[in-house]
């Protein structure tokens, strides 16, 4: 390791996480069920280079989408009154999505319906788009990572 190699590592904005999870969650998005903003967000995210660049709108969508997806998967089992608990790791979540797409963890135990990974992915994607639209207006460069972050 050199000072220069460490500098390059620290300034590398490429997301291995996005590389690992997007091929599994993008195909699950119900495109016909999206509104115009969500369709544009899907188009942008589908073509994303997976870099968290300052001008990247896809980075903002992906970040909020996957945070909500983690919440959808783990919150019902890992939120207990007066018991501090952490969600399983991001790596465990990626493994679950990649290798256990029919896992019981995708079901929200607090509802009578039996939710699936598809349900969690779609709710999270729409949530991300709707949240960004409420805060920053119609999809535009206002959604850029530098502005959101």
Residue 80, SS3 per DSSP: strand
Residue 83 bridge partners (DSSP): 80
For residue 85, what are the domain limits?
A: 19-148
CATH number at residue 108: 1.10.1400
Q: Identify whether 112 is part of a domain.
A: yes
Sequence-distant (≥ 6) Cβ neighbours of residue 103 within 8 angstroms: 96, 117
Alpha-carbon distance of 127 to 65, in angstroms, equals 7
Is residue 133, in this structure, part of any structural domain at all? yes
Q: What is the pLDDT of residue 80?
A: 81
Q: Residue-wise pLDDT tens for the chain (149 aa)?
A: 999 989 888 888 999 999 999 999 999 999 999 999 999 999 999 999 999 999 999 999 999 999 999 999 999 998 888 787 889 999 999 999 999 999 999 999 999 999 999 999 999 999 999 999 999 999 999 999 999 99
State the total domains in the chain. 1
Q: Is residue 12 part of a domain?
A: no
Q: Quick one: DSSP state of residue 13?
A: -
Report if residue 33 sits inside a domain: yes
For residues 26, 36, 143 and 47, what is the CA-based torsion angle, rounded to 10 degrees? 40
14 secondary structure, DSSP code? B
> Is 59 a member of any domain?
yes
The verdict on residue 2 lying in a domain is no
- DSSP single-letter state for residue 51: B
Residue 39 sits at the vertex; the CA angle it makes with 34 and 44, to the nearest 5 degrees, is 145
Inside any domain, residue 64? yes
125 part of a folded domain: yes
Query: What is the predicted pLDDT for the residue at 60?
Result: 98
């Amino acid at each position: 390791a050199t000072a220069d190699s460490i500098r390059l590592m620290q300034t590398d904005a490429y997301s291995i996480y996005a590389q690992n999870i997007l091929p599994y969650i993008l195909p699950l998005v119900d495109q016909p069920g999206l509104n115009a903003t969500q369709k544009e967000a899907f188009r942008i995210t589908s073509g994303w280079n997976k870099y968290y660049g300052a001008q990247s709108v896809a980075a903002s969508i992906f970040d909020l989408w996957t945070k909500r997806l983690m919440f959808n998967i783990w919150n019902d089992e890992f939120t207990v009154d007066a018991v501090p608990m952490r969600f399983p790791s991001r790596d465990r979540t990626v493994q679950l999505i990649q290798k256990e797409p029919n896992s019981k963890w995708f079901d929200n135990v607090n509802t009578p319906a039996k939710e699936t990974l598809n349900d969690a992915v779609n709710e999270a994607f729409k949530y991300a788009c709707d949240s960004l639209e409420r805060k920053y207006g119609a999809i535009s460069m206002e959604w850029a990572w530098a502005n959101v972050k």
